[in-house]
Amino acid sequence: MHTFTLAGRTVRRIGYGTMQLAGPKAMGEPADPERAKAAVRAAVDAGVRLIDTSGYYGPEVANRLLAEALRPYPEDLLIATKVGARRSPDGGFVADAAPEAVKAAVRENLAQLGVERLPLVHARFMPDSTVPWADTVGALAELRDEGLLEHVGISNVTLELLDQARAVAPIASVENEYHVGHTGGRDVLDATTAAGLPYLAFRPLGNGALAGENSPLAKQARQLGVSAATLALAWLLDLAPNVAVIPGTSNPAHLADLVAARELALPSDVRAALDEA
């Protein structure tokens, strides 16, 4: 199944993440802004209708380039954003999860993207947060009631945090890191599958480690006649029908490898080998 329902919309399970639109480590401007915008357009031209972004990529850079590339947005495009973190002076990510900060971040995303309402906003849990998780999620629920967003999602969560969030508000999706060689938190994935809750796998290529020439997937990929990136994404899509992937690139030439994953059927022996990687 190539599609699933997310935030009330039917979209393909291969999305696009905007983190790489900004400069190195998602800070500052990219070396080639026009190429970055071309990558976004190539994704949409290839049928991608789920774009995951955030105001803290850049900061603001990814959202601005996304808007410059696509506005007016296709009517069937689902843009999901994340709040709950901010950038530190050294380029790291730190918690910014107080209700007033979360609400301000949503409004900043609205302005940067040039929209009046967001289809889906994820509250990202940061381990250094001192704010009760229920308060962070509750802030998004309040903005949903005000009409600034349609659906509340959560990101970077444990099973306990998922349960806590669901006690506060209906949760539309979970966005966690998951890829070959990084399968911690499988209990969260299994719980979302059992509940029919969309699961968005971020960093599906392991920050590029699974896509390069030295990828641990290179041998199996050659045997199948595909790229390592295609194989890595296909493995994720094969996990369960509620799983989507949100790879990113600032190079339009890489898009073909990413979207090709939806057509790859994994042989059982390759599936088993990657499960143990």
pLDDT in tens, the chain (277 residues): 799 999 999 999 999 999 999 999 999 999 999 999 999 999 999 999 999 999 999 999 999 999 999 999 999 999 999 999 999 999 999 999 999 999 999 999 999 999 999 999 999 999 999 999 999 999 999 999 999 999 999 999 999 999 999 999 999 999 999 999 999 999 999 999 999 999 999 999 999 999 988 899 999 999 999 999 999 999 999 999 999 999 999 999 999 999 999 999 999 999 999 998 8
pLDDT at 105: 99
**Inter-helix orientation angle 228-237/268-275, to 10°:** 90
Q: What is the pLDDT of residue 254?
A: 93
pLDDT of residue 171: 99
> So what's the pLDDT on residue 1?
72
Structure confidence at residue 212 (pLDDT): 83
Q: Are 62 and 87 in contact (CB under 8 A)?
A: no
Structural domain boundaries enclosing 70: 3-275
* Rounded Cα gap, residues 62 and 55, in angstroms: 7
pLDDT digits over 123-173, tens only?
999 999 999 999 999 999 999 999 999 999 999 999 999 999 999 999 999
Classify the C-alpha dihedral 170-105-249-217 as positive or negative.
Answer: negative
Residue 95 host element (H or E): strand 93-95
Collapsed DSSP state (helix, strand, coil) of residue 115: coil
| Cα–Cα distance measured from residue 102 to residue 104, given in angstroms and rounded to the nearest whole number | 5
- 243-245 and 199-202 as β-strands: parallel, antiparallel, unpaired? parallel
Query: Half-sphere exposure (CA, 13 Å, Cβ side) for 63?
Result: 25
* CA-to-CA separations, 129 to 26, 27, 218, in angstroms, rounded: 21, 22, 38
Q: Which residue has the tokens 């719980």?
A: 191
CATH assignment at residue 179: 3.20.20.100
- At residue 95, the pLDDT reads 98
What pTM, to 2 d.p., does this model score?
0.97
Element (H, E) at 104: helix 99-113
Annotated catalytic sites, by residue?
57
Q: What is the helix (H) or strand (E) element at residue 70, kind and residue range?
A: helix 61-70
- Count of domains forming the chain: 1
Give the pLDDT confidence score for residue 213 in this predicted structure: 81
